[in-house]
Protein backbone atom coordinates (compact mmCIF):
# COMPACT_ATOMS: atom_id res chain seq x y z
CA UNK A 1 0.00 0.00 0.00
CA UNK A 2 1.16 3.56 -0.73
CA UNK A 3 2.28 5.52 2.28
CA UNK A 4 -0.13 8.31 3.26
CA UNK A 5 1.09 11.58 1.73
CA UNK A 6 1.54 14.42 4.17
CA UNK A 7 2.51 17.96 3.25
CA UNK A 8 4.32 19.67 6.11
CA UNK A 9 4.07 23.42 5.59
CA UNK A 10 6.57 25.38 7.64
CA UNK A 11 6.24 29.14 7.89
CA UNK A 12 8.68 31.72 9.19
CA UNK A 13 8.41 31.56 12.96
CA UNK A 14 11.06 30.94 15.57
CA UNK A 15 9.43 27.56 16.29
CA UNK A 16 10.32 26.27 12.79
CA UNK A 17 13.04 24.09 14.32
CA UNK A 18 10.36 22.16 16.25
CA UNK A 19 8.85 21.08 12.92
CA UNK A 20 11.97 18.89 12.46
CA UNK A 21 10.73 16.74 15.36
CA UNK A 22 7.23 16.60 13.85
CA UNK A 23 8.75 15.62 10.50
CA UNK A 24 10.77 12.84 12.14
CA UNK A 25 7.66 11.46 13.88
CA UNK A 26 5.67 11.55 10.64
CA UNK A 27 8.34 9.80 8.56
CA UNK A 28 9.13 7.21 11.23
CA UNK A 29 5.45 6.29 11.48
CA UNK A 30 5.28 5.51 7.76
CA UNK A 31 4.18 8.74 6.09
CA UNK A 32 5.60 10.14 2.88
CA UNK A 33 6.26 13.75 3.85
CA UNK A 34 6.83 16.61 1.47
CA UNK A 35 8.06 19.68 3.33
CA UNK A 36 6.95 22.99 1.84
CA UNK A 37 8.62 25.83 3.74
CA UNK A 38 8.02 29.50 3.09
CA UNK A 39 10.97 31.68 2.10
CA UNK A 40 10.90 33.17 5.63
CA UNK A 41 11.03 29.70 7.19
CA UNK A 42 14.35 29.09 5.48
CA UNK A 43 15.85 31.91 7.58
CA UNK A 44 15.29 29.64 10.58
CA UNK A 45 15.96 26.12 9.21
CA UNK A 46 17.66 25.52 5.85
CA UNK A 47 16.30 23.58 2.87
CA UNK A 48 19.07 20.97 3.27
CA UNK A 49 17.66 19.92 6.67
CA UNK A 50 14.10 19.55 5.34
CA UNK A 51 15.26 17.66 2.27
CA UNK A 52 17.57 15.29 4.16
CA UNK A 53 15.02 14.55 6.89
CA UNK A 54 12.10 14.02 4.49
CA UNK A 55 13.96 12.36 1.63
CA UNK A 56 12.05 14.63 -0.76
CA UNK A 57 12.91 17.74 -2.75
CA UNK A 58 12.22 21.08 -1.13
CA UNK A 59 11.24 24.35 -2.73
CA UNK A 60 9.45 27.46 -1.62
CA UNK A 61 8.38 28.86 -5.00
CA UNK A 62 6.11 27.71 -7.81
CA UNK A 63 8.91 28.22 -10.36
CA UNK A 64 10.98 25.12 -9.58
CA UNK A 65 10.31 21.91 -11.58
CA UNK A 66 7.53 23.66 -13.46
CA UNK A 67 7.04 20.65 -15.78
CA UNK A 68 5.65 18.78 -12.76
CA UNK A 69 3.20 21.61 -12.03
CA UNK A 70 4.02 21.43 -8.31
CA UNK A 71 1.77 24.36 -7.37
CA UNK A 72 -1.20 22.11 -8.16
CA UNK A 73 0.05 18.52 -7.81
CA UNK A 74 1.44 18.68 -4.27
CA UNK A 75 -1.90 19.80 -2.84
CA UNK A 76 -3.99 17.52 -5.06
CA UNK A 77 -2.04 14.42 -4.04
CA UNK A 78 -1.93 15.12 -0.30
CA UNK A 79 -3.85 13.07 2.27
CA UNK A 80 -3.15 15.68 4.93
CA UNK A 81 -1.63 19.16 5.01
CA UNK A 82 -0.25 20.34 8.34
CA UNK A 83 1.23 23.82 8.72
CA UNK A 84 3.47 23.98 11.81
CA UNK A 85 4.36 26.57 12.82
CA UNK A 86 1.71 28.68 11.11
CA UNK A 87 2.64 32.37 11.26
CA UNK A 88 0.09 35.18 11.52
CA UNK A 89 1.04 36.01 7.93
CA UNK A 90 0.44 32.50 6.59
CA UNK A 91 -2.89 32.22 8.46
CA UNK A 92 -3.95 35.53 6.89
CA UNK A 93 -2.96 34.40 3.41
CA UNK A 94 -4.75 31.08 3.84
CA UNK A 95 -7.91 32.77 5.15
CA UNK A 96 -7.98 35.17 2.18
CA UNK A 97 -6.94 32.72 -0.52
CA UNK A 98 -3.66 34.38 -1.49
CA UNK A 99 -1.31 32.20 -3.50
CA UNK A 100 2.07 33.85 -3.85
CA UNK A 101 4.31 30.90 -2.97
CA UNK A 102 4.27 27.10 -3.09
CA UNK A 103 2.71 26.64 0.36
CA UNK A 104 -0.21 28.99 -0.21
CA UNK A 105 -0.84 27.46 -3.67
CA UNK A 106 -0.81 24.02 -2.03
CA UNK A 107 -3.36 25.16 0.56
CA UNK A 108 -5.71 26.23 -2.24
CA UNK A 109 -5.41 23.02 -4.22
CA UNK A 110 -5.59 20.56 -1.29
CA UNK A 111 -8.94 18.82 -0.84
CA UNK A 112 -7.77 16.77 2.15
CA UNK A 113 -7.97 17.69 5.85
CA UNK A 114 -5.80 20.68 6.81
CA UNK A 115 -4.32 21.31 10.26
CA UNK A 116 -2.78 24.64 11.28
CA UNK A 117 -0.62 24.89 14.41
CA UNK A 118 -0.19 28.64 14.91
CA UNK A 119 2.74 30.05 16.88
CA UNK A 120 3.41 33.73 17.47
CA UNK A 121 3.63 36.39 20.13
CA UNK A 122 0.51 36.81 22.27
CA UNK A 123 -0.24 40.25 20.80
CA UNK A 124 -0.20 38.85 17.25
CA UNK A 125 -2.40 35.90 18.29
CA UNK A 126 -4.93 38.06 20.11
CA UNK A 127 -5.15 40.69 17.38
CA UNK A 128 -8.69 40.75 15.94
CA UNK A 129 -7.26 40.27 12.43
CA UNK A 130 -5.62 36.98 13.42
CA UNK A 131 -8.66 35.86 15.43
CA UNK A 132 -10.95 36.55 12.47
CA UNK A 133 -8.63 34.67 10.13
CA UNK A 134 -8.59 31.70 12.51
CA UNK A 135 -12.40 31.78 12.75
CA UNK A 136 -12.64 31.85 8.93
CA UNK A 137 -10.32 28.87 8.58
CA UNK A 138 -12.22 26.91 11.24
CA UNK A 139 -15.55 27.74 9.64
CA UNK A 140 -14.23 26.29 6.38
CA UNK A 141 -13.34 23.05 8.14
CA UNK A 142 -9.64 23.43 8.92
CA UNK A 143 -8.42 22.21 12.29
CA UNK A 144 -6.66 25.14 13.95
CA UNK A 145 -4.82 23.99 17.06
CA UNK A 146 -4.92 26.50 19.95
CA UNK A 147 -1.37 27.64 20.77
CA UNK A 148 0.06 26.70 24.15
CA UNK A 149 0.84 29.10 26.98
CA UNK A 150 4.48 29.44 27.97
CA UNK A 151 7.84 30.93 27.12
CA UNK A 152 7.92 32.82 23.82
CA UNK A 153 10.84 34.31 21.91
CA UNK A 154 13.06 36.46 24.11
CA UNK A 155 11.94 37.08 27.67
CA UNK A 156 8.19 37.07 26.98
CA UNK A 157 5.72 34.46 28.16
CA UNK A 158 2.04 34.06 27.25
CA UNK A 159 -0.26 32.32 24.79
CA UNK A 160 1.29 31.73 21.40
CA UNK A 161 3.75 28.92 21.90
CA UNK A 162 3.81 26.05 19.40
CA UNK A 163 2.39 22.98 21.19
CA UNK A 164 4.70 20.02 21.73
CA UNK A 165 5.46 18.37 18.32
CA UNK A 166 4.42 14.99 19.80
CA UNK A 167 0.99 16.46 20.51
CA UNK A 168 0.69 17.95 17.00
CA UNK A 169 1.67 14.55 15.62
CA UNK A 170 -1.14 12.92 17.64
CA UNK A 171 -3.65 15.39 16.20
CA UNK A 172 -2.38 14.67 12.66
CA UNK A 173 -2.66 10.94 13.27
CA UNK A 174 -6.26 11.31 14.44
CA UNK A 175 -7.23 13.66 11.61
CA UNK A 176 -5.68 11.28 9.05
CA UNK A 177 -7.52 8.33 10.60
CA UNK A 178 -10.82 10.18 10.18
CA UNK A 179 -10.04 10.78 6.48
CA UNK A 180 -11.83 13.41 4.44
CA UNK A 181 -14.80 13.55 6.77
CA UNK A 182 -15.57 17.13 7.78
CA UNK A 183 -14.27 18.01 11.23
CA UNK A 184 -17.78 17.67 12.64
CA UNK A 185 -17.09 19.69 15.79
CA UNK A 186 -15.70 22.68 13.86
CA UNK A 187 -17.10 25.93 15.23
CA UNK A 188 -18.27 24.19 18.43
CA UNK A 189 -17.07 24.89 21.96
CA UNK A 190 -16.91 21.84 24.19
CA UNK A 191 -16.02 21.59 27.86
CA UNK A 192 -14.48 18.45 29.31
CA UNK A 193 -13.68 17.81 32.96
CA UNK A 194 -10.98 15.29 33.83
CA UNK A 195 -9.14 13.82 36.80
CA UNK A 196 -10.25 13.53 40.38
CA UNK A 197 -10.98 16.24 42.92
CA UNK A 198 -9.08 16.41 46.23
CA UNK A 199 -10.78 17.65 49.36
CA UNK A 200 -8.20 18.91 51.86
CA UNK A 201 -8.26 17.83 55.50
CA UNK A 202 -5.14 19.71 56.54
CA UNK A 203 -2.12 21.18 54.67
CA UNK A 204 -0.73 17.71 53.88
CA UNK A 205 -3.75 15.39 53.58
CA UNK A 206 -6.82 15.17 51.40
CA UNK A 207 -9.71 12.88 50.51
CA UNK A 208 -9.24 11.91 46.88
CA UNK A 209 -9.96 9.20 44.34
CA UNK A 210 -8.12 7.06 41.84
CA UNK A 211 -9.12 8.85 38.63
CA UNK A 212 -6.03 9.50 36.45
CA UNK A 213 -7.67 11.91 34.01
CA UNK A 214 -6.65 9.86 30.97
CA UNK A 215 -10.22 9.36 29.70
CA UNK A 216 -10.95 13.10 29.96
CA UNK A 217 -7.70 13.94 28.18
CA UNK A 218 -8.56 11.47 25.40
CA UNK A 219 -11.94 13.24 25.07
CA UNK A 220 -10.23 16.63 24.89
CA UNK A 221 -7.68 15.50 22.30
CA UNK A 222 -10.21 13.81 20.05
CA UNK A 223 -12.55 16.82 20.19
CA UNK A 224 -9.67 19.12 19.18
CA UNK A 225 -8.84 16.81 16.26
CA UNK A 226 -12.52 17.00 15.22
CA UNK A 227 -12.22 20.79 15.05
CA UNK A 228 -13.73 21.87 18.39
CA UNK A 229 -12.55 24.66 20.64
CA UNK A 230 -11.93 22.71 23.81
CA UNK A 231 -11.81 23.83 27.44
CA UNK A 232 -10.38 21.10 29.65
CA UNK A 233 -10.99 21.47 33.37
CA UNK A 234 -8.27 19.32 34.90
CA UNK A 235 -8.32 18.18 38.52
CA UNK A 236 -5.02 16.86 39.87
CA UNK A 237 -3.99 14.84 36.83
CA UNK A 238 -0.29 15.64 36.56
CA UNK A 239 -0.63 14.99 32.80
CA UNK A 240 0.94 17.29 30.17
CA UNK A 241 -1.52 19.73 28.58
CA UNK A 242 -2.91 18.32 25.32
CA UNK A 243 -2.16 20.45 22.27
CA UNK A 244 -4.81 22.78 21.04
CA UNK A 245 -6.79 22.77 24.26
CA UNK A 246 -7.36 25.49 26.87
CA UNK A 247 -6.56 23.91 30.22
CA UNK A 248 -7.94 25.20 33.53
CA UNK A 249 -6.36 23.55 36.58
CA UNK A 250 -8.55 23.01 39.65
CA UNK A 251 -8.18 21.16 42.95
CA UNK A 252 -11.49 20.68 44.78
CA UNK A 253 -15.08 19.94 43.76
CA UNK A 254 -16.12 23.50 44.57
CA UNK A 255 -13.35 24.89 42.31
CA UNK A 256 -14.30 22.42 39.57
CA UNK A 257 -17.92 23.55 39.77
CA UNK A 258 -16.93 27.21 39.39
CA UNK A 259 -14.67 26.48 36.40
CA UNK A 260 -17.27 24.26 34.68
CA UNK A 261 -20.11 26.78 35.13
CA UNK A 262 -17.92 29.58 33.73
CA UNK A 263 -16.75 27.59 30.70
CA UNK A 264 -20.19 26.06 30.07
CA UNK A 265 -21.79 29.50 29.60
CA UNK A 266 -21.13 29.42 25.83
CA UNK A 267 -20.50 25.69 25.37
CA UNK A 268 -22.31 23.45 22.90
CA UNK A 269 -21.50 20.37 24.97
CA UNK A 270 -20.21 19.59 28.45
CA UNK A 271 -18.67 16.20 29.19
CA UNK A 272 -18.13 15.54 32.88
CA UNK A 273 -15.48 12.82 32.92
CA UNK A 274 -13.88 13.98 36.18
CA UNK A 275 -14.46 11.97 39.33
CA UNK A 276 -15.91 14.60 41.63
CA UNK A 277 -15.92 13.90 45.38
CA UNK A 278 -19.46 13.57 46.75
CA UNK A 279 -18.34 14.80 50.16
CA UNK A 280 -15.72 17.10 51.65
CA UNK A 281 -14.45 17.39 55.22
CA UNK A 282 -16.58 19.85 57.19
CA UNK A 283 -13.47 21.34 58.76
CA UNK A 284 -10.03 22.17 57.43
CA UNK A 285 -7.23 22.12 60.01
CA UNK A 286 -4.79 24.98 59.39
CA UNK A 287 -1.97 22.87 60.90
CA UNK A 288 -1.17 19.20 60.35
CA UNK A 289 -3.51 16.96 62.39
CA UNK A 290 -1.30 15.27 65.00
CA UNK A 291 -1.47 11.70 66.25
CA UNK A 292 -2.15 11.73 70.00
CA UNK A 293 -0.77 8.81 72.01
CA UNK A 294 -3.42 6.62 73.68
CA UNK A 295 -6.27 8.59 72.09
CA UNK A 296 -8.56 7.49 69.30
CA UNK A 297 -8.54 9.87 66.31
CA UNK A 298 -11.40 12.36 66.00
CA UNK A 299 -13.99 11.26 63.43
CA UNK A 300 -14.03 13.17 60.15
CA UNK A 301 -17.33 14.95 59.64
CA UNK A 302 -18.29 15.25 55.98
CA UNK A 303 -20.40 17.75 54.09
CA UNK A 304 -22.16 17.07 50.81
CA UNK A 305 -20.50 18.62 47.75
CA UNK A 306 -22.55 20.32 45.03
CA UNK A 307 -23.93 17.94 42.38
CA UNK A 308 -22.42 19.63 39.30
CA UNK A 309 -23.80 17.19 36.72
CA UNK A 310 -27.37 17.54 38.01
CA UNK A 311 -27.01 21.32 38.21
CA UNK A 312 -25.74 21.84 34.64
CA UNK A 313 -28.28 19.32 33.31
CA UNK A 314 -31.18 21.14 35.01
CA UNK A 315 -30.06 24.65 34.08
CA UNK A 316 -28.63 24.43 30.57
CA UNK A 317 -26.50 27.48 29.91
CA UNK A 318 -27.81 27.60 26.33
CA UNK A 319 -30.64 25.86 24.48
CA UNK A 320 -29.66 22.55 22.94
CA UNK A 321 -26.51 22.18 25.05
CA UNK A 322 -25.62 18.49 25.30
CA UNK A 323 -24.59 17.25 28.74
CA UNK A 324 -22.73 13.98 29.22
CA UNK A 325 -21.96 12.35 32.56
CA UNK A 326 -19.78 9.43 33.58
CA UNK A 327 -20.72 6.79 36.10
CA UNK A 328 -18.05 4.61 37.63
CA UNK A 329 -19.81 1.65 39.20
CA UNK A 330 -18.45 -1.39 40.99
CA UNK A 331 -21.58 -3.56 40.83
CA UNK A 332 -25.01 -3.75 39.20
CA UNK A 333 -23.43 -1.46 36.65
CA UNK A 334 -26.22 -0.97 34.07
CA UNK A 335 -29.12 -0.74 36.54
CA UNK A 336 -27.21 1.81 38.62
CA UNK A 337 -26.29 3.69 35.45
CA UNK A 338 -29.92 3.92 34.26
CA UNK A 339 -31.01 5.19 37.68
CA UNK A 340 -28.20 7.76 37.72
CA UNK A 341 -29.09 8.98 34.21
CA UNK A 342 -32.69 9.63 35.33
CA UNK A 343 -31.58 11.28 38.58
CA UNK A 344 -29.08 13.61 36.94
CA UNK A 345 -31.13 14.57 33.89
CA UNK A 346 -28.18 14.50 31.46
CA UNK A 347 -28.44 13.46 27.79
CA UNK A 348 -25.85 10.69 27.84
CA UNK A 349 -24.23 8.70 30.61
CA UNK A 350 -21.06 6.69 30.04
CA UNK A 351 -21.21 3.76 32.42
CA UNK A 352 -18.12 1.78 33.17
CA UNK A 353 -17.17 -0.77 35.73
CA UNK A 354 -14.29 0.27 37.92
CA UNK A 355 -12.13 -1.43 40.47
CA UNK A 356 -8.58 -1.41 41.70
CA UNK A 357 -7.23 -2.85 38.47
CA UNK A 358 -10.00 -1.71 36.14
CA UNK A 359 -10.18 1.58 34.21
CA UNK A 360 -8.40 3.91 36.65
CA UNK A 361 -4.95 4.82 35.34
CA UNK A 362 -5.27 2.31 32.50
CA UNK A 363 -4.86 3.19 28.81
CA UNK A 364 -7.99 1.22 27.99
CA UNK A 365 -11.63 1.26 28.84
CA UNK A 366 -14.88 -0.57 28.16
CA UNK A 367 -18.27 1.05 28.65
CA UNK A 368 -21.89 1.36 27.70
CA UNK A 369 -23.17 4.80 26.74
CA UNK A 370 -26.77 5.20 27.90
CA UNK A 371 -28.97 7.81 26.24
CA UNK A 372 -31.88 9.68 27.86
CA UNK A 373 -33.84 8.52 24.77
CA UNK A 374 -33.42 4.90 25.92
CA UNK A 375 -30.52 4.10 23.58
CA UNK A 376 -27.62 1.88 24.65
CA UNK A 377 -24.28 2.02 22.82
CA UNK A 378 -21.81 -0.61 23.99
CA UNK A 379 -18.14 0.27 23.44
CA UNK A 380 -15.91 -2.83 23.50
CA UNK A 381 -12.65 -3.00 25.43
CA UNK A 382 -10.13 -0.76 23.67
CA UNK A 383 -8.14 2.48 23.86
CA UNK A 384 -9.72 5.35 25.78
CA UNK A 385 -9.65 7.40 22.59
CA UNK A 386 -12.01 4.90 20.88
CA UNK A 387 -14.56 5.48 23.66
CA UNK A 388 -13.95 9.22 23.30
CA UNK A 389 -14.71 9.06 19.55
CA UNK A 390 -17.98 7.23 20.26
CA UNK A 391 -18.98 9.85 22.83
CA UNK A 392 -18.35 12.65 20.27
CA UNK A 393 -20.28 10.70 17.58
CA UNK A 394 -23.27 10.57 19.93
CA UNK A 395 -22.86 14.23 20.96
CA UNK A 396 -22.64 15.50 17.35
CA UNK A 397 -25.79 13.55 16.48
CA UNK A 398 -27.60 15.34 19.31
CA UNK A 399 -26.17 18.74 18.32
CA UNK A 400 -27.85 18.28 14.94
CA dist list (Å): 382 to 113, 210, 304, 364, 374: 26, 20, 35, 5, 24
Least distance from ligand FMN to the Cβ atom of residue 60, Å: 9
DSSP helix/strand/coil, 94: helix
- The secondary structure of residue 212, as a DSSP letter, is -
Residue (125 or 360) nearer to ligand FMN, CB = 125
Task: Work out whether 12 is an interface residue with ligand FMN (CB under 6 A).
Answer: yes
Residue 88 as a binder of ligand FMN (CB under 6 A): the answer is yes
Residue 116: beta bridge partners?
A: 83, 144
- If one asks whether residue 74 binds ligand FMN (CB under 6 A), the answer comes out as no
Catalytic residue flag (residue 209): yes
Residue number with CB closer to ligand FMN (90 or 390):
90
| Helix, strand or coil, per DSSP, at residue 337 | helix
The answer to whether residue 105 forms part of the interface with ligand FMN (CB under 6 A) is no
State the nearest-atom distance from the C-beta of 174 to ligand FMN, in Å.
25
List Cβ<8 Å contacts ≥24 apart for 370-375: 370/334, 370/337, 370/338, 370/341, 371/347, 372/341, 372/345, 372/346, 372/347, 372/348
CA distances to 66, 114, 126, 287 from 393, in Å: 44, 21, 31, 49
Residue 83 within binding range of ligand FMN, rule CB under 6 A? no
Near ligand FMN in 124-153, by CB under 6 A: 124, 153
Say if strands 114-118 and 80-86 run parallel, antiparallel, or are unpaired. Answer: parallel
Q: Does the footprint of ligand FMN cover residue 9 (CB under 6 A)?
A: no
Q: Number of residues in contact with ligand FMN, rule: CB under 6 A?
A: 16
DSSP reduced 3-state for 111:
coil
Nearer to ligand FMN, 45 or 253 (CB): 45
Q: How far apart are CA 166 and CA 397, in angstroms?
A: 30
* DSSP label of 275: B
Closest contact distance (angstroms) between CB of 158 and ligand FMN is: 12
Q: Catalytic one among 209, 236, 352, 365?
A: 209
Closer residue to ligand FMN, CB minimum distance, 38 or 390: 38
CA-to-CA dists, residue 211 to 169, 202, 275, angstroms: 26, 21, 6
Among 11, 133, 193, 390, binds ligand FMN (CB under 6 A): 11
Q: Which stretch binds ligand FMN (CB under 6 A): 119-127, 199-207, 334-342, 356-364?
A: 119-127
Asked whether 112 and 79 are in contact (CB, 8 A), the reply is: yes
- Closest to ligand FMN by CB, 40 or 336: 40
Q: Which residues are annotated as a binding site for CTP?
A: 278, 288, 306-309, 326, 340, 344
Catalytic residues: 209
Residues that bind ligand FMN (CB under 6 A): 11-15, 38, 40-41, 87-90, 119-120, 124, 153
Amino acid sequence: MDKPKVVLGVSGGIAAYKACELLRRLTESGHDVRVVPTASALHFVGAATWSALSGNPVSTEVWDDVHEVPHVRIGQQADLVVVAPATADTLAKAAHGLADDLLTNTLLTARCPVVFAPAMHTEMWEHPATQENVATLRRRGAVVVEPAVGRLTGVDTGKGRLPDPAEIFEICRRVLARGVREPDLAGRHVVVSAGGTREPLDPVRFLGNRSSGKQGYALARTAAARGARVTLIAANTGLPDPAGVDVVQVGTAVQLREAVLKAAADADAVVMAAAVADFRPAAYAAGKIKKKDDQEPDPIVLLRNPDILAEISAERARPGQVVVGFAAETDDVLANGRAKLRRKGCDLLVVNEVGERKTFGSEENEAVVLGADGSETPVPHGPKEALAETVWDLVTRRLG
